[in-house]
Amino acid sequence: MRKIRLLTTLAFSLMMFSSTSYAEWTKVGVNVNGNTFYVDFAGIRKVDGYVFYWYLQNWLKPNNGFLSGKSYFQGECRVFRVKHLSYVHHKQPMGRDTGDSNSPKNPEWIYPPPNSPIETVLKKVCTTVRNYREQ
């Protein structure tokens, strides 16, 4: 059973991380520190009422030696909350290198702080999903 779980997790991770190599990043905003953040709108998936999406942040100044970070989120638009499923820190801007990845074992729901990049991104993702469904 453990082997099946490990293989499933590995296969899911490989598909998930390889997909970011071909992402079409769209600039969503710049925060007060001058860091720019992007979303791969073409990669948004809606499953059972949840939205899954990649978010990328370019840091104006190195952050612990890294210049960018990509995060994979699960969002719930009705309740307006997110789970941080995985992240990858990169030494190159726009996630152009392999990066160091990590996935929390038991991600918890968080409610984005007001005026934060996570709030801005979730609003855009939810609006995009809503508008796509109405067309």
What CATH number did the domain enclosing 103 receive?
2.40.128.710
- Indicate the pTM of the whole model: 0.79
Domain enclosing residue 47, as ranges:
2-134
Handedness of CA 11, 69, 112, 105 (dihedral sign): positive
Distance CA 93, CA 97 (A): 8
Q: Work out the mean pLDDT of the chain and round it to a whole number.
A: 85
Residue with tokens 């309740």: 79
Residues 61-65: what's their mean pLDDT?
94
Residues 127-135: what's their mean pLDDT?
72
Contact 58, 93 (CB under 8 A): yes
Handedness of CA 12, 15, 21, 22 (dihedral sign): negative
pLDDT band at 10 (very low <50, low <70, confident <90, very high): very low
Q: Is 102 or 6 the better-scoring residue by pLDDT?
A: 102
